[in-house]
Amino acid sequence: MTKLLIASAVIALIASILLTPLITKKREDGKSKKVIGYFFIGVFVLGFLATGITVYVTKMDVNWHAFWPAIILLTLGGAFLASGIERKIKGVLFLASLGVAIYVLSAPLWNANDKFTSAEMKEEVEIKPFDETQTPASVPPKFARNKMKKAFGQVPNTSYYELGRLQIQKVNGEYVYIAPVEFSGFFKWMNGGSTPGYFMMSATDSADNPKFVEQAMKYVPSAYLNSNLERHIRLQHPLLIFYGDVQLEVDDDGKPYYIRSYGEFVSARNGFDVKGIVLVDALTGKSEVVKLEDVPEFIDGAVSPETVSLQNSYFGNYVHGFWNSKFGKKDVKLPSDEGTESNVSPVFDEKGDMYYFTDFTSPKEGVDSMLGYSLTNARTGQATYYTGNLDSSYMDSQGTLQIIEKKFIEKKWSGEMPVLYNFYGEASWLTAVLDSNGFLQNYFIVSAANPEISVYATTPKEALKLYKTALSRGGNTVDGSSNATEKNASGKVLRVYKERLGDFTIVSFLLSNGENYLVSAETEPLSIYLQEGDEVILTYGDTGEQFLPVRNLIIKGLQ
pLDDT in tens, 300-347: 999 999 999 999 999 999 999 999 999 989 999 999 988 889 999 999
Rounded distance between C-alpha atoms, residue 109 and residue 275, angstroms = 24
% of the chain residues with pLDDT over 90: 65
80-95 burial: b if 16+ Cβ within 10 Å, else e? eebeeebbebbbebbe
* Beta-strand pair 440-447/426-434: antiparallel
| Predicted pLDDT of residue 281 | 96
- For 403-427, give the DSSP string: HHHHHTTTTT-EEEEEEEEEETTEE
CB 426 within 8 A of CB 132: no
pLDDT band at 482 (very low <50, low <70, confident <90, very high): very low
pLDDT reported for residue 484: 63
Residue 277 to residue 456: CA distance in whole angstroms: 40
> Quick check: helix, strand or coil at residue 68?
helix
Residue 540: closest CA among 497, 485, 470: 485
Instruction: pLDDT band for 64, please (50, 70, 90 cuts).
Output: confident
Statement: residue 461 has pLDDT above 90: no
Higher pLDDT, 105 or 365: 105
Band of the pLDDT at 216, cuts 50, 70, 90?
Answer: very high
**What distance in Å separates the CA atoms of residue 24 and residue 27, rounded to the nearest whole number?**
5
Cα-to-chain-centroid distance, residue 297: 18
How far, in Å, CA of 47 to CA of 162, rounded? 39
At a CB cut-off of 8 Å and minimum separation 6, what does 406 contact? none
pLDDT-derived band at 476 (thresholds 50, 70, 90) equals very low
Element (H, E) at 179: strand 174-183
Amino acid in the structure at residue 249: E
Find the helix packing angle between 30-58 and 229-236, rounded to 10°: 140
Alpha helices in 120-171 (DSSP H): 141-150
pLDDT at 26: 53
Q: What is the β-pairing status of strands 426-434 and 414-423?
A: antiparallel
369 pLDDT above the threshold of 50: yes
Is residue 382 helix, strand or coil? coil
Q: Residue 120 is which amino acid?
A: E
Beta bridge partners of 414: 434
Q: d(Cα 126, Cα 291) in Å, to the nearest integer?
A: 30
